[in-house]
Amino acid sequence: MAHCDPDVLALAALGEPITDATDVEHLAGCVECRGELESLATTVRVARTGQAPLVLPPESVWQGVQATLASEPVPLPLDRRRPRWLAAVAVAAGLLVIAGSVTIGRSIAQGPSPTTVAVATLTTLPGAPQTASGSASLQQRGNSRTVEVDTVGLADPQGFYEVWLMSPDDSGLVSLGTMSGGQTHATFPVPDGLPLAVYTNVDISDEPIDGNPGHSAVSLLRGQFAV
């Protein structure tokens, strides 16, 4: 027995009821056709919910759809009078859904543009290389915050450089992350809930590789965020 027409499966995947009793009966008993339908339906479902990254169809797919739309209707068996262009339009619509979801997915992934909330000029502390300097900026994107750090003249740490947020009176200290010698730019996420009204200072220390996660007390650059 012949399998279901791919057009029928494509339409069914897009939510069209299967009206042909022969198709319904065949589908109930054919693992191959059910698998094909489930695969198409999954694609449509994923595209509509936008819950998974999708790859845009290659140009050849679009050309195929256009060619199908432009071509003369193919004669169908008597029991399959459904116009072929309808399936082509349905498939094209499905692809448009996917393409739209990809666009939406991308804009969600990118979210709103980051806004610079505050900036800090980092100046040298005793013991830092004379030519060292740096800056930090606090970026807000939606609910997430990041600190971007740029440095000049820090190339020769004992072990590595570490970036901290601290309160001006030294009562609080939070490590944001590390930078290697010669690294001039880094972006660090700010822990959720960290009160930046308290942790207003950015500090870069020189850390030996000694397994001690605490601050080495060798600060090289420091600055205070200002709005």
Residues that bind Zn ion (CB under 5 A): 3, 30, 32-33
Question: CB of 39: closest distance to Zn ion in angstroms?
Answer: 13
- Is 3 or 82 the residue whose CB approaches Zn ion more closely? 3
Helix (H, G, I), strand (E, B) or coil at 50: coil
Q: Which of 132, 149, 118, 117 is nearest to 224 (CA)?
A: 118
Is 156 in contact with 180 (CB distance < 8 Å)? no
Residue number with the smallest Cβ distance to Zn ion: 30
- Is 3 or 215 the residue whose CB approaches Zn ion more closely? 3
- Is 23 or 203 the residue whose CB approaches Zn ion more closely? 23
The C-alpha torsion from 35 through 40 and 43 to 47, rounded to 10°, is: -150
Burial of residue 131, with CB atoms counted within 10 A of its CB: 0-12 exposed, 13-18 middle, 19 or more buried: exposed
Question: Which secondary structure element, helix H or strand E, spans residue 100, and what is its range?
Answer: helix 84-110
Question: CB of 2: closest distance to Zn ion in angstroms?
Answer: 8
Question: CB of 76: closest distance to Zn ion in angstroms?
Answer: 18
Question: CB of 28: closest distance to Zn ion in angstroms?
Answer: 10
- Is 41 or 155 the residue whose CB approaches Zn ion more closely? 41
